[in-house]
Copies of this chain bind each other. A is one copy, B any other.
Amino acid sequence: METNTAAIQTVDNGVNVEALLGAREALTEAPAAAEFIWCANSEWVNGTHTRASVKGFHGLGEEQCHRTEFTFDSDHPEVFASDDNGATPVEYVLVGLAGCLTAGVASVAQNRAIQLRRVSATIEGSMDLQGILGIDSDVRNGFDDVTVRFDIDADATREEIEALVAQSQKRSAVFDIITNPTQVNVQVGG
């Protein structure tokens, strides 16, 4: 194990694995602290253009806050007769998947003492618009399927790199959200 420890010390992917392992230990003792609520607030701008903001969330038993507020414009493109003031809503889902799987690859690589040099990904979601346009009720509204292609340069064999990606999928929140059903409750206030 000494060799592995030495390797971990020289490998730096910018992930604080010790803190994550510490968090896992702490939350095993206090599972209520592991209950998080993520949040976004949105305001309609005009047409299909909406602006959402992300700042606060709940976790570790209290209200938490990002260092800054992040704002995101979503819209439909000009081919849908819209103004294209932002990425489409479905592209935001792909961005989330990219970020989630890549963060997982970096974290697992750090834990396995694998130095990463580059991790790039292309994420594609195919969609038959006959669904959302209501042309064919047998066509779903969302993606038919999603493909993620990773290109990874690291001090590791191809097998080790494939194992990194597999482990990242296994622990990815967004991968789970897309591949498995989640209940969404929509309420109208006022």
Binding site for B on A (CB under 8 A): 13-16, 19-20, 23-24, 27-28, 31, 34-44, 46-50, 52, 54, 57, 59-60, 64, 66-67, 70, 72, 74-82, 84, 86-103, 105-107, 116, 118-136, 140-153, 158, 161-162, 165, 169, 171-190
User: Given A120-B42, A145-B183, are A89 and B126 also a contact pair (CB < 8 Å)?
Assistant: no
Expressed in whole angstroms, the minimum distance between the Cβ of A140 and any Cβ of chain B is 6
Docked CA distance A44–B102 (Å): 7
Cross-chain contact B122 with A39 (CB below 8 angstroms): yes
* Number of identical monomers bound together in the oligomeric complex: 2
Cross-chain contact A98 with B40 (CB below 8 angstroms): yes
Other 18 A-B pairs with CB < 8 A, given A42-B98, A141-B176, A142-B180: A13-B46, A15-B48, A28-B135, A34-B129, A35-B127, A36-B129, A37-B126, A44-B102, A50-B103, A64-B77, A66-B87, A89-B103, A92-B95, A92-B96, A134-B171, A145-B183, A150-B188, A178-B182
Give the residues in chain B near A38, CB-CB below 8 Å: 88, 90-91, 94, 124-127, 143
